[in-house]
Amino acid sequence: MSASRSLRLSGHALLLIASAPILLFLLLPSLIIVPMALSKSQMIQFPPEWISLHSFVDYLGDPQWVDSTLLSFQVTIVAVLIGAVAGGTAAIALHGRSFAGKGLLVGLIMMPIVIPVVIMALGDYLLFAQLRLLGSWVPIAVAHGVLATPYVFISAQAGLTSELNPALVRSARSLGARPTSVLYHVYWPAIRPGLLAGSMLGFAVSFDEVVLALFLQGANAVTLPVRTFSAIQYELTPKIAASASLFIALALVALGLQALAARKTGRLS
């Protein structure tokens, strides 16, 4: 059917023509920051005066910025771990079960995506103030963990639904597998790709999250996005562009890993 084939081809061409400008419009503002980071100027400006690495050198030479970067990684990793454990176990617990109030429970898990972050931030602020935990990075990590949980949950749940045949659980048990063995031999292989993909999403969400981190910050608990945000307000240094480039690079890495995990899932099924 060469006629329909060429029709499809021209359809693809049309789609490309229509979507390319939109994609460009969406991407350019983010990508423009990279050449700005390579500017010689002492101020952040556009168009940049090429080409120098001094903004990166400044960024890496400023202990405050380096501390914030390391702190951000620390917060994000702990948040992703919290999200992976909470989201993953929730997905396993709810898989294949139906009971009264399940919808409500799922809604509760999904809530952090739906409710405005400012409200969550205020609630967290009041809670952690009461607990006298403010000022350290722990509240930020916990709050980000809550934020990352629904992303991991959705992804893990989708993975389980597509990968896990319920008869496998019974089959394993009939062969003598105790619950922990079932978890390891049946659930774990099925949930792993979804868990990885969800964790990547959670990483992306937590690493550049600014509202919660702003509310819960302390003298020694300023994450990189918060540092960047304040810098934009007060000094407009090219370090902003350098750190922003780091965000973009990390996002690309996370996206790539997630795509890899998704491809692996597709190949398995």
Partner 1 sequence: MNSAVQPGTLSASSRKAGREVEVRGLWKSYGEGEYVVRDVNFALRPGEFLTLLGPSGSGKTTTLMMVAGFENPTRGEILVDGHDIALRPPEQRNFGVVFQGYALFPQKNVLENVEFGLRMRGVPPADRRRRALDMLDRVGLADFTTRKPRELSGGQQQRVALARALVFEPDALLLDEPLGALDRKLRESLQNEIKELQKRFGISILFVTHDQDEAMMMSDRIAVMAEGRIVQIGPPSDVYLHPATPFVAGFLGETNLVPGTYQGMDDGYAVVDFKDAARGRVRLPADGRSLTAGEAVVVSVRPERIRLLTDHAETTFAGLVADCTFMGRHTRYRIQALGQALTVSVTEWSPTSALCAGAPVWLGWQAEDAQILSGPEGALPMPQEIVR
List interacting residues with partner 1 (CB under 8 A). 165, 167-168, 170-178, 181, 185-186, 189, 268
User: Which residues are within 8 A (CB) of 222 and not within 5 positions of it... i.e. 6 or more apart?
Assistant: 64, 67, 68, 71, 213, 230
Which of residues 54 and 173 has its CB atom nearest to partner 1 in the complex?
173
**Burial classification of residue 72, based on how many CB atoms lie within 10 Å of its CB (0-12 exposed, 13-18 middle, 19 or more buried):** buried
Between 153 and 187, name the residue whose CB sits nearer to partner 1. 187
The CB-of-244 to partner 1 minimum distance in angstroms stands at 41
The residue among 157, 148, 167 whose CA lies nearest residue 254 is 148
Work out how close the CB of 217 gets to partner 1 at its nearest, in angstroms, rounded to a whole number: 44
SS3 content of the chain, % helix, strand, coil (to 5): 80, 0, 20
Enclosing H/E stretch for 107: helix 102-114
Shortest Å distance, C-beta 262 to partner 1? 17
Min separation Cβ 189 and partner 1, Å: 4
Name the amino acid, one letter, at 105.
Answer: L
Contact 30, 248 (CB under 8 A): yes
Distance CA 153, CA 198 (A): 7
Give the number of other Cβ atoms within 10 Å of residue 214's Cβ. 19
Judged by beta carbon, residue 65 or residue 187, the one nearer partner 1 is 187
CA distance 216 to 146: 14
Between 66 and 175, name the residue whose CB sits nearer to partner 1: 175
Q: Which is nearer to partner 1, 123 or 189 (CB)?
A: 189
Distance in Å, CB of 192 to partner 1, minimum: 9
Least gap, CB of 175 to partner 1 (angstroms): 4
Rounded to a whole number of angstroms, the minimum distance from the CB of residue 197 to partner 1 is 17
Residues β-bridged to residue 50: 39
Q: Which residue, 155, 159, 156, 150, is CA-closest to 83? A: 150
Q: Which is nearer to partner 1, 54 or 95 (CB)?
A: 95
Q: Which is nearer to partner 1, 107 or 166 (CB)?
A: 166
Give the whole-angstrom CA distance, residue 195 versus residue 188: 9
> Could you tell me how many residues make up the chain?
269
